[in-house]
Structure 1
Amino acid sequence: LLDSNQLVGNIQERALALSRLNNAVKAHLNCAEHCRVSNYRQGVLIIEIASAAWSMRLNYERNSLITKLREKLLPNLVD
């Protein structure tokens, strides 16, 4: 039982961290209402996009977004 409580605590911490990261990333995006942070692991930020059109637009902003996030939030961000 104790192990499952720790697991739930870890999941809650991870969800809270991803929620904070999602808010921070959306502050730097022009298409924030069409995307959300899905995961961050080993220097890779995964963002879910609502459509292919918005994905293309985000792809244009990719390098500037990575630069901003490295400077302000995620210094270990690779991709």
Structure 2
Amino acid sequence: MSSRLVDKIRNMEVPENGNSSINVMLGVVNIFFFGFGMIAIGILNKDPDDLIIGILQLLVPLVGWIWAILWVSLEKPIQEC
């Protein structure tokens, strides 16, 4: 990971390049479809850091969802004892 990407994440910096109206609209999209708005901003602004952040925003909840399913599947055999 580049130090610029780490600084962007640590400082909670939002995208400032490109058309601000489009950035706001894609920010709203990002609220409902996590990661997609940021991925689009990264592509439109040709900013690989924003693209990587969008991919992480998309993957982190997915990992949590899979983890929750695994916990439920492990809980059933325990309850049968």
TM-score (structure 2 length as normaliser): 0.33
Structure having the larger proportion of residues in helix: 2
Q: Which has the larger radius of gyration?
A: 2
Bigger strand share:
1
